[in-house]
Structure 1
């Protein structure tokens, strides 16, 4: 009994089709994986800031003491304090500043009645009545941006993908 043509292996056309399909799948999948990997730190920074903002709003209401979130744009760190803290405790909080994840920076911050800030320390105040300063924070990682919008009377922080130029007056 002889060996038939179908039992010897795959034809060149079959192999070419399989290679083409694998290449097509990689072509479609790799950019999504790349985007997911490169924006992971940006999402992490986003979650860190949103969590801190929520904690400060709750603390201001519960303790009936204004809370302040300081964003240090020069060193890419942030910290918070209560306005009734002693200077020693305040200095300690500043030493314990939380750094942003690697590759992420605060591009700029906009507040009502002030120019858009791209350097220095910016303070965002959370009042004991439950409201806060309307603020827009732009986070950047490489070419990727996220926009955080703090509304004065809402407990939530709105997040927009990309650099959205929103005036804090219109919040």
Structure 2
């Protein structure tokens, strides 16, 4: 009878090293993966409003053209137009509007001195001189209310995790 010196398995040290390497890889990849796949609808809407508002302010100044962010309060949709669009282009923009995800709604849009628009459509204008209308956009989901504050002379849009109103 001969004794075989070949081993048919892995040593405990080899298994520990492989498990540690896989754990380290998962530790760094899962949070990044989770952030892209399991994004919250509120974050998606927030990014859209903030980035589009900033972009429209810059575009209006660079192209020397007035842009408008239209807000359909009843339809929970947003779309963009500019002053030189034809009627057909405006209709296409309305048809291709950004629809808020299920469970998130536009509560109202508030302008200083004009009050709140709770029904219908309204617009926030971005002018060729580089400024915009001052406005608050209020959205809500099942549990929370949020406010986007668009300031006239700043490109940043402030986001609050609460319902904020203009002082009267």
Range class of TM-score, shorter chain: 0.7 to 0.9
TM-score under structure 1 normalisation? 0.72
Q: Runs of 5+ in structure 1 lacking a partner?
A: 1-36
Residues 147 and 164 of structure 1 are in contact (CA less than 8 Å); yes or no, is this contact kept in structure 2? Answer: yes
Give me the CA root mean square deviation: 1.6
Residues 42 and 139 of structure 1 are in contact (CA less than 8 Å); yes or no, is this contact kept in structure 2? Answer: no
User: Secondary structure of the equivalent of 1:71?
Assistant: strand
Residues 70 and 121 of structure 2 are in contact (CA less than 8 Å); yes or no, is this contact kept in structure 1? Answer: yes
Stretches of 4+ aligned residues off by more than 4 angstroms: none
Partner of 2:58: 58
Residues 112 and 166 of structure 2 are in contact (CA less than 8 Å); yes or no, is this contact kept in structure 1? Answer: no
Using the TM superposition, name which of 99-108 and 111-120 deviates more: 111-120
Instruction: For 2:51 and 2:99, locate their aligned partners in 1 and report how far apart those are by CA, in whole Å.
Output: 14
Aligned-residue offset at 1:43 = 1.9
Give the count of matched residue pairs.
131
Q: Runs of 5+ in structure 2 lacking a partner?
A: 1-37
Aligned-residue offset at 1:92 = 1.0
Larger helix percent: 1
Q: Does 1:72 align with 2:72?
A: yes
Partner of 2:93: 93
